[in-house]
Amino acid sequence: MHVLNEKQLKRLKEHSYSSCGSTMLDPYMQVWWEWVVQRLPYWLSPNCMTLAGLLVVIMTAMIFIIYSPDAKQDIPPWLLLMGALSIFIYQTLDACDGKQARRTQTQSQLGELFDHGCDSLSTIFIALLVAVTLKLGTSPTTLFFQCVFAICLFYTAHWQTYVSGTLRFGKFDVTEIQFSIMFMLVITAIMGSSIWSYVMPVVNLKLSSLPIIGSVIGGIVALSDNLPIILTGGVGRNGSSVAGTSVLSPSIPFMLFVIQAVMIWKKSPSLLYENNSCVYLLFIGIIATKITIRLIVCHMSRSEIGYLDSSMLGLLGLILNQYFDCYFDESKVLYVAFVYATYDLIHYTSALCREISTYLNIYIFSTSKRELQPHHRTRKADRRKTSTIIGL
């Protein structure tokens, strides 16, 4: 399986990471992150750190879902504290992986892609962790909106990067959001999950509405920063994207994904989403992860983004099953689609990482120097031979 062609690999190798902005807490957290990275062994690969942090979050979120598969049950205090700790570990490893790469002189385009790819996958798991804590399963619409909105915010952040070539951070960004979630988890562990069911007088809203309202306000602020850049900040010819394509092109695969996800939810005669909330959201979250990773790859390789993706076959299968009056049990089709989407993501990302690591002549999970491969030696020899002939 070839994910990238020769031109894309060449442009990806030429790519340089560009970012701007700093969050409110980042300057203070730098002290902790620098202290941690100075105590890491030199043999520890930055990508291993990123993956370890992601696995901690995934395992913790899955335990949350096992305790409350419908996002309506109380979560024990010890698990809530474990959730807060897992996010702190993920945050620390995610912030230190780049520092470790510079420290060991192993920074590469693969490391940047690996970091952002893991961030993309962590989005749905952290969103579900929050949803289960707040018991949002009592309001399926709110639960769906909260998770899809989180996915949308992450996608638009990289959409504007695809347009402008620079990843931008606001004053209230990832670090602050993570600390807000950690604070919420600790408070819930102390006060009990029932605190979020308390109905506030006058406004007649559950206390669980406050974090949702806060995230919506923060999301609107982030979107108001990103959308003008998407529409007017193109660095390509005539204001186009880094790949010279339309600045609106990334909207097409994302809208296709969202429309299908909503259609399946609303047209299900067996209330598929309502009866399998967490599984359904994990399913669409995995699809969104692949679409986002493809966008990141297109930015780094300055390539045109494709509108269709193999990960959407699961969505298509569910839609076709509904069209034929649910010939197969919807829940079974969902689980098959979920397994397929997971396999498709793993297959794509592993092939992508192997392809890039081979081209860059580096290891994925090691700081050791890789021996020059035969095809690299041949290319260098050919260039030297050509230079000699030209010189003569």
116 is catalytic: yes
Biggest CA pair distance of the chain: 89
Which residue of the set 116, 299, 347, 376 is catalytic? 116
- Residue 336 token pair: 């098959």
Hey, which residues are catalytic here?
116
